[in-house]
Amino acid sequence: MINILVTGAGGQLAGNVIRRGSPGVSIRGLTSSDLDITDAGAVRDAVRPGDVVLNCAAYTAVDAAETDEDAAVAVNATGPRILAEATARVGARLIHVSTDYVFAGDASEPYEVDDPTGPRTAYGRTKLAGEREVLAADPAAVVVRTAWVYTGVGSDFVATMLRLQRERDTVSVVDDQVGSPTYAWDLAGGLLELAGRPDVAGGVLHATNAGRATWFDLARAVFAGVGADPERVRPCTTADFPRPAPRPAFSVLSPTAWARAGLTPLRPWADALADALAQLPPSATD
């Protein structure tokens, strides 16, 4: 039996891990209210010998982090260090989820795990700090970077596009940012597979659905996927929608290290999106 402790259980990724589960796996999901990962004593009490700790807890308010970096540091760097210290101390294993924002976003080819980092936002800086804290405290830990994660529920990009296709005649979406849309259900499956592979060495891996798209491409695919006219989605530039935190222009992460570790590649993003839309209730797509 594999015992997995999932932090940040109130979030979309952790929720999918818990719902998906796996044969021979016992999952304890703890929300931020259940476990404050910045509380060293609470973390010591929660982490048991032999656990696989999957850290999905994160400060993900990208724009707010620009003026609240201390809070982002606490959750994205200090908390992961405390978790890593705890797993190293008792012989547990840590899988820590990170982000494409650790890169500058100015590449033209998919980022490899050992490519130079260069975050341009407070959020990216704190997530990179978290990666470094984790691997320094527990070299056997695995950092998994991902990008453009969605469920189609709540306020993520796909859910927003579903709402806007009901409310507006046309929608303008940026066409100069490129990434790999990643269905949380698929990513959860990959993380569960990794949790069951203690032979995978510590270090950094990348996991996203395969292929690349712009936000504009993704929006059009959402519209088409629910029978709406994709021509209602109009392209625009990042400059048309300035944000406090600059978004990476290029966020495609290479799956090479993931495949080299013998882990199952995540399927193409368009196939995953079709399944995501099919799983939603009619009220979300009508």
- Which residues belong to the active site? 123
Distance CA 14, CA 232 (A): 33
Cβ atoms of 212 and 66 within 8 Å: the answer is no
Distance CA 103, CA 117 (A): 5
- Looking only at the bridges linking them, the beta strands covering 171-174 and 93-99 are unpaired
Indicate left, alpha or beta for 21 from its phi (over 0: left) and psi (-120 to 50: alpha). left
* 283 exposure class (CB count in 10 Å sphere: 0-12, 13-18, 19+): exposed
Give the position of tokens 């597979």: 193
* 2 exposure class (CB count in 10 Å sphere: 0-12, 13-18, 19+): middle
Cβ atoms of 38 and 82 within 8 Å: the answer is yes
